[in-house]
Chain A
Amino acid sequence: MTRTSPEPKLQRPPAERRYADELAKLTADDTAPRPPGWAMSLQAARTFIVGDDKLGIARKFVGDPSLIDRALVTLATNRGLMLVGDPGTAKSLLSELIAAAVSGDSTLTIQGGAATTEDQIAYSWNYSLLVSEGPTRRALVPAPLHQGMAEGRVVRFEEITRCPLEVQDSLLSPLSDRVLAVPELEGSDGMVFAREGFNIIATANTRDRGVNEMSAALKRRFNFETVFPIGDFDTELALVEAEAAAALERSGVPVPPSRDVLEVLVHVFRDLRSADGSGDRMQSVMSTAEAVSVAHAVGIKAWYLRGGEAAAGDIVDCMAGAAAKDNAEDLARLRRYLEQRAPKRKGRHWQDLHQARNLLPG
């Protein structure tokens, strides 16, 4: 006798599963014309990402709506979409959401890295079949690009600039001629022509090698969109609060982080991120995501070690490891900030922060 066990809980289901209800609702109500091969219209895709309170669609990306407009329109043209920006600015999340909206599927993902090869991008072979049958369609193991082109779906290429240049350039002909050659196969299988709906969303990190080293030929086939840190304090605070609360709940902490402490934290991150040209700009990444992880750590420390009360001083402790990483200069910058800027702000938590400067290592 078998018993069907409930479906195991996934750590992080893909966007199209997380937001399946919203996608279904938007598709059902969608009357606007759809670009060929798209799962929904541009308008519906935009609503899915920027949200709409009246329709009960949550806002999933905090940033300029015009960025979404440009990104979606780009995907409907024959150029790829390149999302660039500092780490932690939600580029990957954005690319996942767009892919989920446009193709109904965000899983055709290539993770770029120093060891990425064309095999992982286009196709490889099942070697036992290859040996027994020779190069046949059956022996071919399609990788995301092959699949995306054959099925007319959006392919995501994460951290494209971390790949070797010659690997990056393998995207040239799929992007410009919309065709992928499989020279080992004969006949019609030897050429995979992209079906409507295929396009590429690449993400690149400005702190890595950057996009400057990309070949001009490839650059020309992408439209670039820079994703910026959140411009507005209140929005960022709200986001950090929500994300940190969710993360804390997952870690078994029932109380949300204290708002006062979070305010101080977000202020510190924003100051250190911009540092108005005084040379105090941190080398390390001061992203919202990093702020969330510091807030998470502060919350855990408060709950398990202090009996619930979060203190601004804990921020320093957690930041020293999380944000300043192992960069001695950043540590000095942080120290200078705590010594000189923190005491000028009013409020108990800022004074705590100032007092806590001695907790910095070194």
Chain B
Amino acid sequence: MPDDLHVIGVRHHSPACARLVADTVDRLRPAHVLIEGPADFNDRLGELALAHTPPIAIYSYMAAGGAARRSWSPLCDYSPEWLALTKGRETGAAVKFIDLPAWHDAFAEVENRYSDAERRYADATERLCREFAVDNTDALWDHLVEIADPEGLAERLDRYFDLVRGEAEATEPDSARERHMAEWIRAALAEDDGPVLVVCGGFHAPALRRLAEAGGPRAWPEVPGPPPDAVVGSFLVPYSFKRLDAFAGYQSGMPSPEYYQRLWDDGAETAAGALVELIATRLRGKHQIVSTADLIGARGLTEGLARLRGHDRPGRTDLLDGLASALISDDLEQPLPWTRRGTLTAGTHPVVVEMTAALTGSRTGRLHPDTPAPPLVADVEGALERLGLGGTRRLRLDLTDARDLERSRALHCLRLLELPGFTRQDGPSAGSDVTAEEHWDLRDGDGRLPAVIEAGVYGATLGDAAQTVLEHRIDRAGGDLDALSGVLFGAALCGRAHLTDRLGRAVADGVADCGDLAAVGAALTVALALWRHDHLFGTAGSELYATVITACAERAMWLAEGLRAGPGPADLGRLKTLAAVRDAVRHAPSLTPPAASVAATARRIAGDGAAPPDLRGGAAGLAWSLGASLDAAGAAAGVSEPDRLGDWLAGLFRVAREEVLAEAAEHGVVHAVDEIVGDMTEQEFLVALPALRQAFAFFPPRERAQIAEQLVALRGGGESAHSMLDRHDADPLTVAAAHALEARVDEVLTREHLTAATEEQR
């Protein structure tokens, strides 16, 4: 290896490595400091030099062909890369990032540039964990690096990473990155003006040393450009410890940033003490009992564990293990999270949740005001300013007012981009809602700016970005009509319904693929309402929704005709669908098949013995409401079994409520049903009762009273209709038990010949 080359293989976000980097820069005074980081950012390193408060991240995006890729390179106070940047700048070295840009294919699967590369090659680390009898690589790392003696750290790191790298065959993406980084190193060495310090992930270090020595071009390399049709960008975003700790799986790096921040700031003992205090305060704040005895116990355990594990100072797991042993007096459902790697799982003990949350911390970074931001940020800020949507408050919008409508649309776009702080409390939830008012909760907060910067991937203006998200949602919805109808309404709310031919086609395709009658109905209802009378959102008569209505109406009838099932509880979803078809045929005749043919299909379904009774009832209602005549007695007789009658009626009433109320009493459905019920035995009636009750529930109380009066009139009874509808206070179960008892008494009396009739016979 050339004498001038010094490669420090680090673990990203490691305080011990950061210290090593800082010391080395001071000692070597290198001419070049080369850092694993996006090389495309090199001409903007000045932005990083502004007085930011870490954690911050370089956020890179690429949008191409409808797909968006995002990745972050997070930097905190104690990142070795951050130290290399600041220290290198201070000492006047030429500082450069040397890794491939985030848009390169090597980063196709990478969200966190500073994740632990060695996690992808776990064999060696697993063996080391066994050897040192620790749970996982995080504990191993603390043991070997963070709380170990800083003397000889550089050699120890090299040996560790040589071992890890020694057996692993690097994947192609990793090799591509290493080849590129080596080109920069060779070029820096070729300048021959002093020591060259390379700060890179430890996994790459052995390879970089090897490659730098090998021959190759010695000129500064070209940074590969993005794919021709791609939109790319890199911007600084404020970052937070929460997000830093939330990476999972192969994307994760060092856990517990708050702990390591304190380790960096104050050293291991002070960090441990402060965190115990923090955890105790948090737990007491949540009304968990943390006694002084517990804390003494925890302290003793932590010290004992540190000593047993050969640590001079308590480490992260010593601290956590001690606290867990002392504070938890329950069996755990989930293993302690620091014995595994990864994020918390459901069922984790609440004390453990608080402990890990305390170690994660809640620090957020802050960017210097002069930091450039993507165009979307200015557009969003402009829109908020222009429409008066800033600050934290509640907002009432009247959608009939033009300015309020514009504000509402902007807010819906913001919500679609999932920017924090824009919550809609209430408002229209589908086109048929009567309300024209919306209530919003606006909340300004720290999290908004990073979210806006990151949403910059979707477009330069708010509207365009919302449009992109809508289209993404369609892609993600696939053939799921429920999700698609949500997107349909979302498009209306954002005021984007007119633009989206993509949306119309996607919905039509989704409808054709959909086998669920209820889902088709839901989409039809939304589209019909928006098409018919949504002047509020300006969607009335929109071509988009017309396409949807046509597709849905046809598909609904097709599915309904093919449905086969025996008796079963009425399915409200499919009945709603039939009602939606009815409305579509009535109000949008130009978009649906002619009424007569729909009615004919409906009659066919109604007469089909293999169709489920509720659908038959609904179809009968559909035919009836579209003008066909209904032979009530005949139709009811076809479904007179006690387990069918109620469901059939439910279907009929749901779809043809008005018709039932309007018809003449003597030949009507109610009369026919009354006859059938009258002929039922007690047992049969009890079977039929629940479904019948459900069916009549479709009528509001006033109409129910009206039917009751009809019945009373028909039967010529003296009771008033109202008394029939009076609710009984008795529990139905008690009533049923009373009935059963009476029946038994009657039976016994009959058996013993004690009834009045037998008495007389005697």
Q: Give the B-binding residues of A (Cβ under 8 A).
A: 42-43, 46-47, 50, 52-53, 64-70, 72-74, 76-77, 79, 84-85, 204, 206, 210-212, 216, 219-220, 222-226, 228, 231, 277
Contacts and interface: CB of A to CB of B under 8 A. Distances in A.
B329 A72 contact: no
A225 B325 contact: yes
Nearest to B302: A73
Q: Which interface residue of B307, B328, B329, B339 has the most chain A CB atoms within 10 A?
A: B329
A84 B331 contact: yes
A47 B346 CA distance: 33
A69 B330 contact: no
Contacts of A85: 331
Contact of B332 (A53, A72, A226): A226
Contact of B301 (A64, A68, A70, A222): A70
A65 B133 contact: yes
Given A46-B133, A65-B135, A66-B135, A220 B329 contact: yes
Interface in B285-313: 297, 300-301, 304-305, 307-310
B127 to A, nearest CB: 10
Nearest to A206: B331
Given A42-B308, A73-B305, A66 B331 contact: no
Interface string B386-399: 00000000000000
Given A224-B331, A231-B340, A65 B134 contact: yes
A226 B135 CA distance: 15
Contacts of B332: 224, 226, 228
A210 to B, nearest CB: 7
A226 B333 CA distance: 8
B329 A224 contact: yes
23 contacts: A42-B308, A43-B310, A46-B133, A50-B133, A53-B131, A64-B335, A65-B133, A67-B339, A69-B309, A69-B321, A70-B324, A72-B308, A73-B301, A73-B308, A77-B304, A204-B331, A206-B331, A210-B331, A223-B301, A223-B325, A223-B326, A225-B325, A228-B335
A113 B458 CA distance: 65
A206 B134 CA distance: 26
A46 B305 CA distance: 12
A149 B336 CA distance: 33
B139 interface: yes
A170 B66 CA distance: 70
B334 to A, nearest CB: 8
B300 A77 contact: yes
Interface residues of B, number: 30
Contacts of A73: 301, 304-305, 308, 322, 325
A50 B134 CA distance: 10
Nearest to A226: B332
A222 B328 CA distance: 10
B308 A43 contact: yes
B317 interface: yes
Contacts, number: 82
Nearest to B129: A65
A69 B308 contact: yes
A174 to B, nearest CB: 18
Contacts of B317: 66
A225 B328 CA distance: 9
Contact of A46 (B308, B322, B324): B308
A70 B325 contact: yes
Q: Which interface residue of A204, A212, A225 has the most chain B CB atoms within 10 A?
A: A225
Interface string B108-142: 00000000000000000000000101110001000
A210 B309 CA distance: 32
Contact of B329 (A42, A68, A222): A222
Contacts of B301: 70, 73-74, 77, 223
A231 B335 contact: yes
A81 to B, nearest CB: 9
Given A43-B308, A77-B304, A224-B328, A70 B335 contact: no
Nearest first, the 4 A-B pairs at minimum CB distance are A73-B304, A84-B331, A226-B332, A65-B133
Nearest to B310: A43
A66 B300 contact: no
Contacts of B331: 84-85, 204, 206, 210-211, 224, 226
B320 to A, nearest CB: 9
A243 B244 CA distance: 43
Nearest to A234: B126
B330 A211 contact: yes
A251 to B, nearest CB: 31
B667 to A, nearest CB: 51
Nearest to A85: B331
Contact of A66 (B134, B304, B329): B134
Nearest to A35: B304
Nearest to A66: B135
Interface in B671-713: none
A159 B749 CA distance: 60
Contacts of A220: 329
Contacts of B324: 70
A84 B324 CA distance: 14
Contacts of A228: 332, 335
Contact of B305 (A70, A84, A210, A225): A70
Contacts of A77: 297, 300-301, 304
B135 to A, nearest CB: 5
A278 to B, nearest CB: 13
A305 to B, nearest CB: 39
Contact of B304 (A76, A212, A224): A76
Interface string B549-563: 000000000000000
Given A66-B317, A77-B301, A79-B297, A219 B329 contact: yes
A67 B300 CA distance: 16
A46 B304 CA distance: 13
Contacts of A211: 329-331
A249 B331 CA distance: 36
Given A64-B339, A224-B329, A70 B133 contact: no
Interface string B147-185: 000000000000000000000000000000000000000
A225 B301 CA distance: 13
Contacts of A69: 305, 308-309, 321
Nearest to A67: B339
A135 B301 CA distance: 42
Contacts of B321: 66, 69-70
Contacts of A224: 325, 328-332
Interface string B328-360: 111110011001100000100000000000000
